[in-house]
Amino acid sequence: MSTLNTDATASASLRIAVLQSSGLEGDVAGNLRALAEAARRAHAQGADLLVTPEMFVTGYNIGERLDEVVTDDLPDRIRTAVRESGLAMAVGTGIRRPDGIANSVLLVDADGSLIARYDKTHLFGPLDRSLFVAGDSLSPVIDFHGVRLAMLICYDVEFPENVRALTLAGAQLVVVPTAQMEPYEFIAEHLIRVRAWENQIAIAYANRVGSEGRLHYVGRSSIVNADGSVLAHAGATDHDLLVATVDARAIEGAQSRNPYLSDRRPNLPVPPAPPIHPLPEEDDSHDRTR
């Protein structure tokens, strides 16, 4: 049964689960089994949507193996796994495109139908650029369980203009699969709360733990409310499943109390630098102290 909201009278809240996990490098079948187990646990806690870390299905820093495991039928395998679980998911995975492999998140409804796909637009450093091709548009904003959600991936959320653009497009919740590594703990600890606060939206941040190659992931996944309060958070090393409820009316209330969006003045001009006017030299001809 589809959980995509088409009824204006539907409940304006979304119970969201965030999976923090190391995943299994290059083991698609094993990761799909782990996804099913996480869905079972999330469903038992009343979740409507499960969010995975970045590239969870395939592995992230797995080098040339990525080309082997990102098969043409991978999206269908993920959709089948979601349908069998009976729980909608935002799943981080590689997706094959004509020009290469995209670092993607698939938003799949509980019946296995594909609601939306987002390809990471901001590639981080030589690693990302050696493995992936970049997306060329931001996420659509989806009305899901009465909450308008959008998607970003890892490095994307570190650009304030991305989150602001989605907020101005109507997003109330941004889900962010990520593979945040050392030494960037401060992003998980501080920046995510700032992004939520400055835009008055909720953010669900799903990170990896453990290591892949030379990358050591920092965990610290979280679900942050629009007022910057942390609804749920995980530690640095533990496999965990966070569950919290995001309420659209509470987000609207936060935006009313903290009207950054309505008070902003984005069209203020930046003038050119003014010319420098040096002070005239002092006339010391009448200085009696000389």
Instruction: Using DSSP, state whether 143 is helix, strand or coil.
Output: strand
pLDDT digits (tens, 9 = 90+) for 27-42: 999 999 999 999 999 9
- For residue 130, the domain's CATH number is 3.60.110.10
Q: Which of 37, 84, 120, 161 is catalytic?
A: 120
Residue 117 · residue 103 · CB < 8 Å: no
User: Is residue 91 in some structural domain?
Assistant: yes
Q: What pLDDT is stored for residue 281 in this prediction?
A: 81
- Indicate whether 283 belongs to any domain: no
- 3-state secondary structure at position 1: coil
Considering the candidates 54, 198, 212, 281, report the single residue annotated as catalytic.
Answer: 54
98 part of a folded domain: yes
What does the pLDDT read at residue 22? 97
What total number of domains does the chain contain? 1
Is 268 a member of any domain?
no
> Annotated catalytic residue: which of 154, 158, 182, 281?
154
185 in active site: no
With respect to residue 186, please indicate whether it lies within any of the assigned structural domains.
yes
130 falls within a domain: yes
224 touches 203 (CB < 8 A): yes
Q: Burial letters for 228-253: b for 16+ Cβ neighbours within 10 Å, e otherwise?
A: beebbbbeeeebbbbbbbbbbebbee
C-alpha dist (Å) from residue 233 to 44, 149, 176, 204, 215: 19, 20, 14, 10, 22
212 flagged as catalytic: no
Determine whether 54 is an active site residue: yes
Is 180 domain-assigned? yes
Q: What is the pLDDT of residues 250-280, one digit of tens each?
A: 999 999 999 999 999 999 999 999 999 898 8
What pTM did the predictor assign? Answer: 0.91
- Domain hosting residue 241, numbered range: 13-261
211 within some domain = yes
pLDDT digits (tens, 9 = 90+) for 172-197: 999 999 999 999 999 999 999 999 99
